[in-house]
Structure 1
Amino acid sequence: MTSKAPVIYLHFPNRCSSFGSPVLRCFAPSIPYRYASGLSRNDSRARDQPKKKKKQRTEFKNQSLRDALQFSLCDAMRYIRAFEVGRNPTSSKYDLAIRLRTAKNGPAVRNRLRLPHAVDTSLRICVICPPDSPAAAQARNAGATLVGEETVFDAVKAGRIEFDRCICHVDSAQKLNKAALGRILGPKGLMPSSKTGTITKDVTGAVKGFVGGSEYREKLGVIRCAVGQLGFTPEEMQRNVRAFVGEIKKDLALLSDRIGKDIHEVVLSSTNAPGFSLNGDFRSPTSPPTRDLAVL
């Protein structure tokens, strides 16, 4: 049995309360907490030892979809449009998030695709190539807003980055490396690279691929991409969603057999609306007519 700490009562007859009765004050001697609470020395040492660390997860955690509330594409668009009432149909976008079953330390999926219906056609594209070369003329005809070499390098070093995408011709790749723009363009995701297809001989094809194209990259097991504007019809959204999901499946099929990545969930949201998990159906029995979802 553990002995309790003794309590000492002191009586002060000269100090009385407002009712005239003596005041009793109790004091306890200063005893360490671990002994006062009834713990022995061995018990306290065992408690002071560091706890064993829990085994960390090797994969991203995904919730089960067995009891999840899922929607058809038309129903999800219906509710999202209710959240976007009064918004500019060209500024608000439909976003698609694809959640993967994947390991945390695996390689990230990254690519670019051209959707059947362009989502953003206002991209400013820069092409690094000799300004008087045939490639420069082809880039301007394809829709590039900034073309050149030294003028582009000087503008970037001065902090004037007046473009949203950057493409480099193969002949200008060496000059680009000497300019050492990686520290400036790299963190912004604008540095041309052969891996992403932004260093190429076919400048015209690259520019057209960016005009109306979309880029995506896996982050924390999720791939996000804008797949439509608020004014898109359900049929246009269906074609864009199918194209995006199909491209992701192709990327996953190209991975090594040792790397396991599968699609777990597809969620549709917008700029100001929450996410709605899709069940893969286009319409449900209670869905409104598609023509009503196309009216702004």
Structure 2
Amino acid sequence: MANTRPCLAQLSRICLNPPKTTASCTSARYLSSTAPLSKGFKPAIVSKKEKPVLSRTNPQKNKKKGVAETKKRKARTTYIQYDLRDADKFSLCDAMRYIRAFEVGQKPTSVKYEMHVKLKSLKNGPVIRNRLQLPHPVRTDIRICVICPADSPYAEKARAAGATLVGEDDVFEAVKDGKIDFDRCICQTDSLAKMNKAGLGRVLGPRGLMPSAKTGTVVKDPSSVIQDLIGGAEYRERMGVVRMAIAQLGFTPEEVQRNIKSFMEALKKDMGILSDRTNKEVAEVVLSSTNAPGFTLNGNFLDSNSTITPRDLSTS
């Protein structure tokens, strides 16, 4: 037992005081960028090449420096056109059939067929803008304002024709206060100077409601223009597309066809007038409605393989 005590004492010393190991080169935070490095270790310094300064005025200096000139992309001058050779195209009756399927349960007078004519045109070129009296007018609840003296005979005729707001000072104050309760505005020629003095262009101009002689809204007799506005339709080219309400859901295919034919003839005349300034061509004609998608038309009234007749579409 005397001999074993020193052995137990030695074992206890070894277990309680283990031999010291050599220190490692790095600390325990070896994944951190702040970990200390071992003595004598020098990290490799990566030299960053300075980018040469390009000269905008003298491109020959750039060639001497070995810098390739980056070519700027030219801005597109025309609108993007898609290849329609593999696209699905529909006759007028087939397109009306699918549109009516989307408009089930809607009132025939509340939903309108809309035409979208996509043009091959320049972006910054002149645009098409005109008015058209369709063979079968699309009735709308349009509100018309007439700027003329409230006690003049022109005001009486305007009210009888269907104008909702007639006057001068009252109209000017309402417009300046932001109360614009009309969709079209007509000015009588005698009130033009007073309207310009009131400064309505800042409010009505951005909304497209400012009367002007170019658009035919500054006239001697506003009552004649009111009749055209109620029964007529206005169209304008925006972003290379001309849109217009062409018919109502309750129209027959023959009535829709006559309206489309009249609209396309008027559109071609407008393009012919602008032919000396720019070249415009019809790229695609699409028929849609308020809640239905667009269907590209192929120019036919009814295809030979159609499973529907115009008589089936004439009943609402």
Query: For the superposition of Structure 1 and Structure 2, which TM-score range results when normalised by the shorter chain?
Result: 0.7 to 0.9
Equivalent residue number for residue 199 of structure 1: 218
C-alpha separation in 2, matches of 1:262 and 1:274: 24
Q: Which amino acid in structure 2 is aligned with residue 246 of structure 1?
A: E
Pair 1:62 & 2:81 matched: yes
1:75-117 CA distance string (max 9 Å, x none): 1111111122223333322110111111111111111112222
C-alpha separation in 2, matches of 1:235 and 1:154: 47
1:97-146 CA distance string (max 9 Å, x none): 11111111111111111222222331011111111212111111211111
Equivalent residue number for residue 236 of structure 1: 255
Q: How high is the TM-score relative to the length of structure 1?
A: 0.82
Pair 1:83 & 2:102 matched: yes
- Pick the aligned partner of 1:72 from 85, 91, 101: 91
Equivalent residue number for residue 133 of structure 1: 152
Pair 1:280 & 2:310 matched: no
C-alpha separation in 2, matches of 1:46 and 1:211: 69
- Pick the aligned partner of 2:311 from 287, 291, 295: 291
Which has more strand, going by share of residues?
1
C-alpha separation in 1, matches of 2:278 and 2:165: 40
- Pick the aligned partner of 1:96 from 115, 130, 136: 115
Equivalent residue number for residue 124 of structure 1: 143
C-alpha separation in 1, matches of 2:135 and 2:307: 24
C-alpha separation in 1, matches of 2:94 and 2:45: 68
Pair 1:172 & 2:222 matched: no
* Structure 2 CA distance for partners of 1:31 and 1:13, relative to 1, 3 Å: closer
Equivalent residue number for residue 150 of structure 1: 169
1:161-218 CA distance string (max 9 Å, x none): 1111111111111111011011111111111011100001131221011103221111
Pair 1:225 & 2:238 matched: no
Question: Considering only CA atoms, is the larger Rg found in Structure 1 or Structure 2?
Answer: 2
Equivalent residue number for residue 37 of structure 1: none
1:213-245 CA distance string (max 9 Å, x none): 221111111111111112221111111111111
* Structure 2 CA distance for partners of 1:150 and 1:56, relative to 1, 3 Å: same
C-alpha separation in 2, matches of 1:86 and 1:149: 44
Q: Which amino acid in structure 1 is aligned with residue 191 of structure 2?
A: S
In structure 2, the residue corresponding to 1:211 is in which secondary structure? helix
Gaps of 5+ in 2: 1-23, 29-42, 50-64
* Structure 2 CA distance for partners of 1:33 and 1:213, relative to 1, 3 Å: farther
Q: How many aligned positions are there? A: 266
Which 4+ stretches in 1 moved above 3 angstroms?
A: 11-15, 28-34
C-alpha separation in 1, matches of 2:27 and 2:133: 93
